[in-house]
Structure 1
Amino acid sequence: MAEFHGETPSTQSKISLALPRSHCPHCQQTIRVRDNIPLLSWLMLKGRCRDCQAKISKRYPLVELLTALAFLLASLVWPESGWGLAVMILSAWLIAASIIDLDNQWLPDVFTQGVLWTGLIAAWAQQSPLTLQDAVTGVLVGFITFYSLRWIAGIVLRKEALGMGDVLLFAALGGWVGPLSLPNVALIASCCGLIYAVITKRGSTTLPFGPCLSLGGIATLYLQALF
């Protein structure tokens, strides 16, 4: 059985979303404004740093493209809507959190809290399909459910089988989909996790579950809107 982890076992590192500025991962040179245009700059520089000419990973333009597509989809499903803007922000939080979790098997609090508060603020501002009461209930139900699962799995397996970051992310998503749709999030996330484990042959090793929860949450939101 795969272990689902969402954070480092010790303390959370301090993460700033603004500092330091974007820089080359090889020479550490700060990227110029003209070289920091999503997608276009990477293409114009042919995937290399202007200063040291080192190759820049294709991950950067792919993440930028994924974010752009997520924004476009939200604008099409919820045109001229405050909720559409909220879903765009949610998409950005989840994409960033998923990339970090895939790399480090760690979900930083700044992202799970971002998902939480963006959803609650949208409900408070009456831009969400949920009332503020339903959103808060979704958060509480999500936390209690996954924390209980984490506790039970820890007793049965005698090791941590679900990271606290995953618990917090599932709870935060409850503020977006509501308590009644949380089973859908868990089901879709579990299916994604199973597929990932089979494809990567990681059935007996640690599995980053944050991206699976992110897909489950986003998929549930769009299913709610379309059906």
Structure 2
Amino acid sequence: MTGSPLADAALAGIFGLLVGSFLNVVIHRLPKMLERQWTVECTQYAQDAGLLPLTAAPGDAPQAFNLWTPRSRCPSCGHGVRWYENIPLLSWLALRGRCSACKAFIGWRYPLVELATGALFFACAQRWGWSATTAAWCAFCAALLALTAIDWDTTLLPDDITLPLLWGGLLAAVAGWTSVGPNDAVIGAAAGYLSLWVVYWGFKLATGKEGMGYGDFKLFAALGAWFGWQALVPIILLASVIGAVTGIAMKLASSLREGKYVPFGPFLAGGGFAALLWGPQRIMQAALAVLGLS
């Protein structure tokens, strides 16, 4: 766009910082929005069934809460974040990671998500230039980053992100924006979903417990759509190895959350990022090296 590949990549990186700022909102608010929606639906169902009284007065409506409303506030003191306090990365550094009003610490995740998004957008633009392919892979990275953080926090992989990610991979293959052909993308999506579905039911029948959620099936299907069925084994192998190592480390450090579980979605996403940056063959070699099989 500017005539200089490095300058184009830098512009994409700056845009990525802005997108990363928005992703922080998505990560924080989308799970809360889903919880509110589920509460309303359960209450409505109970009222329709006569299990709960109709307590809401006519005209009552819950306060709007979505990705745009209300404006961002400090969770400690309620201070409204001004526009100049919301500049990606720079504002966090200028404020030294603290609220300008109450001086409460602002988590490291906010600048890290912004920085990671900017770096991934930069890498995509540097690799593919200013093109539809770059736009497609930038959207892929943004969705995967949001899913990673949401799943780690809540063990939820919202359909609002996984399903568009799946369909986006299939459409990108049809449009020729990825190196994966439409047939490989469709087979990859189906194989990704069914493989974890079989593992889920096998584990449940054998133990009576659920080893993963349906969101993991959909996320793996989406990765199959973006990378093709050939990449599924390297991705799942790397995700399993890293997940097992992380789980063992957290157990030894007594940092496992209640229920003694570690969400699998972030490790699947990590396999997806690795496949994007280094390719399925190299991550297969890395996973085998960790297992001592190479």
Q: Using structure 1 for the length normalisation, give the TM-score.
A: 0.85
The match for 1:6 is none
Distance in 2 (CA, whole Å) between partners of 1:213 and 1:75 is 23
Deviation at 1:105, TM superposition (A): 1.7
The match for 2:275 is 220
Deviation at 1:205, TM superposition (A): 1.9
Does residue 168 (structure 1) correspond to residue 218 (structure 2)? The answer is yes
The match for 2:193 is 143
Between the two proteins, the alignment pairs up a number of residues equal to 216
The match for 2:153 is 103
The match for 1:182 is 232
Change (3 A) 1:19 1:166: farther
Distance in 1 (CA, whole Å) between partners of 2:260 and 2:151 is 15
Distance in 1 (CA, whole Å) between partners of 2:71 and 2:171 is 28
Q: Which has the higher helix share?
A: 2
Conserved 8 A contact 2:234-2:280? no
Deviation at 1:108, TM superposition (A): 1.6
Conserved 8 A contact 2:124-2:134? yes
The match for 1:8 is none
**Partner SS, residue 162 of structure 1:** coil
Match of residue 174, structure 2, among 120, 124, 131: 124
Deviation at 1:16, TM superposition (A): 4.5
Deviation at 1:17, TM superposition (A): 4.1
Alignment of 1:34-183 (within 5 A): 34-183=84-233
Change (3 A) 1:137 1:226: closer
Distance in 2 (CA, whole Å) between partners of 1:128 and 1:20 is 38
Conserved 8 A contact 2:84-2:91? yes
Of the structure 1 ranges 48-57 and 89-98, higher mean CA displacement relative to structure 2 is found in 48-57
Q: Using structure 2 for the length normalisation, give the TM-score.
A: 0.67
The match for 1:205 is 260
Change (3 A) 1:68 1:50: same
What amino acid sits opposite 2:138 in the alignment? M
Q: Which has the higher contact order (CA 8 A, sep 6+)?
A: 1
Distance in 2 (CA, whole Å) between partners of 1:131 and 1:23 is 45
Larger Rg: 2
**Partner SS, residue 111 of structure 1:** helix
Q: Please list every run of 5 or more consecutive structure 2 residues that lacks an aligned counterpart in the other structure.
A: 1-33, 38-64, 283-294
For the aligned residues, what is the CA RMSD? 2.3
The match for 2:6 is none
Deviation at 1:19, TM superposition (A): 4.0
**Partner SS, residue 262 of structure 2:** strand
What amino acid sits opposite 1:210 in the alignment? G
